[in-house]
Amino acid sequence: MRYPCSCWENCLLVGHWANMVRKCLNHQLPLQRTMRSYYLTMWSSICGRSAYLEDEMIIALIGPSGSGKTSFIRQLTGHSLHRTASRFNNPTSRITATAVDIRGVNITLLDTPGIGSLADGRLLSEYDIFRLVRNWLRKTRRSDHLAGILYLQNMDDRRPVRPDIDYFSGICEANNFYSSVVLVATGWDKLRLRGGGWAKLREYETSLWRGMISRGAKGFLYTNTKESAEEAVTLITHPRTRGW
């Protein structure tokens, strides 16, 4: 494309930058991803060729074994998992990536092994999951940051464990790490039948999750539907959405 003058081209680039900043402010998106998109547009204009980079948000699903991470993703996709990235060789300690589009946002969900699951003769800890996610980001993506974390915890678990995910603060985009964490309560169907669902939810909110919620994390009650799963994800992609 031929421009009337170099100033005209500069104005187009500045206009694109203004639109990106406006998008960032309206949706409270991290500025890092906005700047990346802007510089790629500049490179395309200067070099006269496309420099495409998918504007995606990568979200990790973390939680103890049996918390429902895989079924959560299946609710979103409506079918068996759509794998978009290679697994690690060990089938018991792998990450599966699934691409979804929610409200016009390209999202890659990382299904991680369960905390406390057995791999290589030992139980996986939160730190082990952190290392798997960090290595996955480094090996398969151009960015080494997550947009956020969905921490799933089954309210029907007889021995619930307090989440310990501070390790992930260094690989999340948000300035306030806990503002990008959503605590997802699963197992609602079983508890509702026994009549103790709401009491268990309040117990989690005032004990296991109290410290994280006070630091900016959001609590969310997952009701095992696609709509509920989408709502949980939008607490990260559209931060102004509220939890319970």
At 40-56, the pLDDT tens digits run: 444 334 434 333 345 78
146/196 Cα distance (integer angstroms): 35
Q: What is the pLDDT of residue 185?
A: 94
Three-class secondary structure of residue 97 per DSSP: strand
Q: What is the pLDDT of residue 4?
A: 43
Low-confidence ranges of the chain (pLDDT < 70): 1-54, 79-93, 141-143, 193-196, 240-244
Q: What is the pLDDT of residue 196?
A: 66
Q: What is the pLDDT of residue 153?
A: 95
**Contact status, residue 200 vs residue 206, Cβ threshold 8 Å:** no
Q: What is the pLDDT of residue 180?
A: 96
197/219 Cα distance (integer angstroms): 15
Q: What is the pLDDT of residue 69?
A: 95
Three-class secondary structure of residue 113 per DSSP: coil
Residue at token pair 């605590």: 183
Instruction: Tell if the pTM clears 0.75, that is, is over it.
Output: no
115/233 Cα distance (integer angstroms): 21
How is residue 150 written in tokens?
């969905």
Q: What is the pLDDT of residue 149?
A: 98
Residue count of the chain: 244
145/162 Cα distance (integer angstroms): 24
Q: What is the pLDDT of residue 133?
A: 95
How is residue 22 written in tokens?
């406006």
